Amino acid sequence: MTVAYVDTSVLVAVSFNEENSTALATRLGESPRLVASNLVEAELRAVFARERCRFSPDVVANIEWILPDRRLSSEIATVLEAGYVRGADLWHLATALYAAGAPEDMAFITCDDRQSRVAAALGFTV
């Protein structure tokens, strides 16, 4: 895959050396192009603040932000037809659908089991 959507859970795992962080960092490094909703930065900064750690913009420096220019109502409906996920996870999957065109053309990298199952059901490589 040349493009991969990266979820906040992956960046948290890598930033805080959680389980599988080395494998996840390798996976991120293998992807020539990382994309995400700019919601990732807010979620990530919140985790850093909660953990009382200094946030470095380098954590998100290689990610291209997807900034939809319209409502994602149809993508949101498509995600919910594939399975239930909570609000932020729903937004990430809908944004990935918006950007991908065809889900099979984009990887979706996440550490969240439910989000992973729904991403796979949508056709993303997980």
Q: Where are the domains of the chain?
A: 3-122
pLDDT tens, 51-72?
999 999 999 999 999 999 999 9
State mean pLDDT over 1-19: 94
DSSP 86: -
Distance between CA atoms of residues 114 and 83, nearest Å: 9
Token pair 């979706």 is found at 108
- pLDDT band at residue 1 using 50, 70 and 90 as cut-offs: low
pTM (2 decimals)? 0.94
User: What fold is seen in the domain 3-122?
Assistant: Rossmann fold (3.40.50)
- For residue range 72-91, list pLDDT tens digits in order: 999 999 999 999 999 999 99
